[in-house]
Structure 1
Amino acid sequence: MQPRFLILGAGITGAALAHRLARNGASVTLVEAGLPASGASGRSFGWVNASFFLSEAHFHLRHAAMAAHRDLAAELKRPWQPEGCIWYQEQGEGFDHTAATLQSMGYPLRLLDRAAITALEPRLADPPDRALFFPGEAARDPAALTEELLAAASAQGAHLLCGLRVTGLTQGDDRITGIRTDAGDIPADHTVLCTGNGTPALLAPLGLSFPMLPRPGALMVTRPLPPLLHHILATPDQEVRQDAEGRLIAPASAHHQADAAETIAAPQALEDATLMRLRHLFPNAFIRPDRLLLADRPVPGDGLPAIGPVLPGLSMAVMHSGATLAPLVADVMALELTGQGSQPPLAPFRPARFFGP
């Protein structure tokens, strides 16, 4: 008899894991308190990259995840055509250090001069003297990908329960046996927490303290525009991309993946400042805001992902950025959960580092 897996949280990570487990023939139930991708996954810049990393192991995990996105697109019969990223968030010694470090780790990149930048992005005002081009980096809409993964998981027999509030985990025989909800208990052989910032409250009754960093974020989406931008753009002041509908999508903080701010400005101030930066980049465009999306990004206490076993019958996958990591984490975690042994790529990111011996 196949083990029964219960996944909490229908963001991109939970959806990817449900899809992979169901495709492998497992019995899967996915529980979501709201709607799929209603948290950080639905408010993400969607930048799939490894140029941002916190350690060498983190780089390699993210780099492998870029290939996992390509493989997942082929599996879902979707095109995969990375637009690439033009990066000049640092200049001077910081630029040189980034280029040398990424080259030493085998990351594909190309050095661009001002003429090359202008050729790639002719509508960009005041291009810098140099930039790095990362050809393998891509943008995905995590909310749309979540829906695709859920549909694929459902076709493989997975069950999705939305609007169901989990009030706790159930225990018995020295292991986690499922969840307690407003509608009653749901048993499982193994429960996986893909619950982002909701994870500490679920672990606390078990005597486990799981630290999360307060990392509020905001994302501006503009009204559709004619084509302005062909690549992901990472400048010292602003990251931005343009989607297939012509909308500019821009985090309201520079270097948003590394942003350590614990509070953010008032929404109107964020919108005004982001709009000003976009108009500086593209002064000839009539840029109008459409909406500002606020979210608390799920960032474990040391900034690195927390993936793997917690207790018998209980695992977790909590990370920033799920937009990059979710397909790879789902693939590798599914191997572990179905008895294929401990997977080396996840070894540096075990939750046990937070819980002590």
Structure 2
Amino acid sequence: MVENVVVVGAGVYGAAVAASLARRGACVAVVDAGAPASGTSGATFSWTNSCGKQPRSYHDLSVAGMEAHRRLAAEVPHGRWYHESGNLEWADDDAEREQLRRKVDGVLQYGYDARWLSRAEVLRLEPDIDPAELPPDEIAYFPREGWIEPAPLIAHLVSTAVGRGAEVIQNDAVTGLEVAGGMVRTVRLASGRRLVADAVVNCAGPQAGQIAELAGLALPMRNMPGVLVYTSPVAVSVSRVVHAPRVHLRPDGAGRLLLHTPDIDGAVGASGTVEQQAVDEVLEAGRSLYPGLRAATVQDVRVGERPIPGDGLPVLGRVAELPNFFFAVSHSGATLSLHAGDLVAAEVLGGDQDGALAPFRFERLRLP
């Protein structure tokens, strides 16, 4: 019988798994080397979507993740961390336009809500965009997509878990896992504390590979840096996630905007700092798209480490050779965490989740 569960990591996955376990009556300890939301979850674009995700099982998992956010937002209307205002995307050359057409055609075949808008229709949605930056037509709009604010969501989930008896242990890294008889028995912490465990859930994000190694498992990861540029508050109307050819952006509360480009992710130096020229280029791209951003300055630049399993797909659920050790690790954690975390929690406590989790088992990544 599973009574004591140790959840490693207090980001969106760890918080979601802990809240679900606690609701189900488990005795939960959440352990993090820092504070809740202090890692990758605190430095993420946090776009909720299933926009072109393949294979179909990954798409369906993401759609279910989006629905889980809607349900929680309806249950906790004062939470205000969930924003389902849509996503706009367009391309500026023939090759990228064809790629976008294929993506839209693909999601439409899955029954996903997508449509094409004209420049005039987009300007009614986002009136502060410079019209010259928009093509006359073929602007993709995904109305059910949006974003979350990770820190308040994590706070709600952790508070839910604590309210049901969970313990949160922060600033105390996991340094060892004691395995005996084919099961994890004890979790050792840097402080010297030892936690008896009937089950361990690895929600350690970019460090998931190291935690797995402590259990004698090899989890291949290909983590990537993610750089986010936060502006000062500015009087510009931006209501949606926008994926323009030269910049991606969304609101970030109190008049601030969050900006990103794929190129800036490559501008992280060995020390973890970001080249100033790259930051300036991102801000200038944002200003070109929204001229009202001329008054904005850069308030913050954050570098996160995206946790990406070796084949790009989530790793979820139990490990066959170590049956009380579980994974909840993926890219797109903002989208997936509530739903996938709930599935993993149910499996920890003995529920059969093979129908949903079979495509995402750890064993597919094992070397022959």
Question: TM-score normalised to the size of structure 1?
Answer: 0.93
SS at match of 1:224: coil
Q: Quick one: which amino acid aligns to residue 275 of structure 1?
A: L
Residues 313-353 of structure 1: per-residue CA shift (max 9 Å, x gap): 21111111111110011121122112121342221111111
Q: Is the 8 A contact 1:238 1:251 kept in 2?
A: yes
Output the CA distance in 2 between the equivalents of 1:81 and 1:228.
15
Code of the aligned partner of 1:200 = G
CA displacement at 1:303 relative to structure 2: 0.9
1:200 aligns with 2:203: no
Q: Let me know the Cα RMSD of the aligned residues.
A: 2.0
Distance 1:137 1:11, change over 3 A: same
Equivalent position of 2:43 in the other structure: 43
For the 8 Å contact 1:69–1:327, the answer to whether it is kept is yes
For 1:334 and 1:123, how far apart are their aligned partners in 2? 44
Partner of 1:353: 364
User: Which of residues 306, 310, 319 in structure 2 aligns to 1:297?
Assistant: 306
Kindly indicate whether residue 40 of structure 2 is the aligned counterpart of residue 29 of structure 1.
Answer: no
Q: Do the aligned partners of residues 321 and 262 (structure 1) sit closer, same or farther apart at CA in structure 2, a change above 3 Å counting?
A: farther
Equivalent in 97, 104, 109 of residue 99 of structure 1: 104
Give the one of 315, 333, 338 matched to 2:344.
Answer: 333
Aligned equivalents of 2:167, 2:43: Cα separation in 1: 24
What is residue 189 of structure 1 aligned with on the other side?
A: 198
Q: Following superposition of structure 1 onto structure 2, how do residues 1-357 of structure 1 map, counting pairs within 5 Å?
A: 3-77=3-77, 78=79, 82-89=84-91, 91-125=96-130, 126=132, 127-129=134-136, 130-182=138-190, 183-253=192-262, 266-285=274-293, 286-310=295-319, 311-356=322-367
Query: In the alignment, is the contact (CA less than 8 A) between 1:252 and 1:270 conserved in 2?
Result: no
Of 263-272 and 333-342, more deviation after overlay is shown by 263-272
**Equivalent pair of 2:184/2:215 in contact (CA under 8 Å):** no
Q: Conserved in 1, the CA contact under 8 Å of 2:235 and 2:292? A: no
Segment drifting more, 32-41 vs 223-232: 223-232
Alpha carbons of structure 1 residues 205 and 332: separation in structure 2 relative to 1, 3 Å: closer
After superposition, the Cα gap between the structure-2 partners of 1:94 and 1:48, relative to the gap in structure 1 and judged at 3 Å, is same
Amino acid at match of 1:119: R
Q: Contact conserved, 1:170 with 1:179, CA < 8 A, in 2?
A: yes
- Alpha-carbon spacing, 1:345–1:237, altered in 2? closer, same or farther (3 Å): farther
Measured in 1, the distance between the counterparts of 2:307 and 2:193 equals 28
Paired residue secondary structure (2:169):
strand
CA contact (8 A) 2:2 2:349 kept: no
How many Å separate the matches in 2 of 1:166 and 1:81?
34
| CA distance in structure 1 between the partners assigned to 2:301 and 2:275 by the alignment | 7
164-173 vs 1-10, greater mean Cα deviation: 1-10
The Cα shift of 1:72 comes to 1.8
Instruction: Give the gaps of 5 or more residues in structure 2.
Output: none
Measure, in 1, the Cα distance between the counterparts of 2:308 and 2:262. Answer: 16
Shift of 1:263: 6.0
> Using the alignment, how far apart are the partners of 2:234 and 2:213 within structure 1?
47
Q: Secondary structure at the match of 1:312?
A: strand
Amino acid at match of 1:34: G
**What stretches of structure 1 of length at least 5 have no aligned partner?**
none
* Structure 1 contact 224–247 (Cα < 8 Å) conserved: yes
Identity percentage of aligned residues: 34
Rate the CA distance shift 1:262–1:353 in 2: closer, same or farther, 3 A: farther
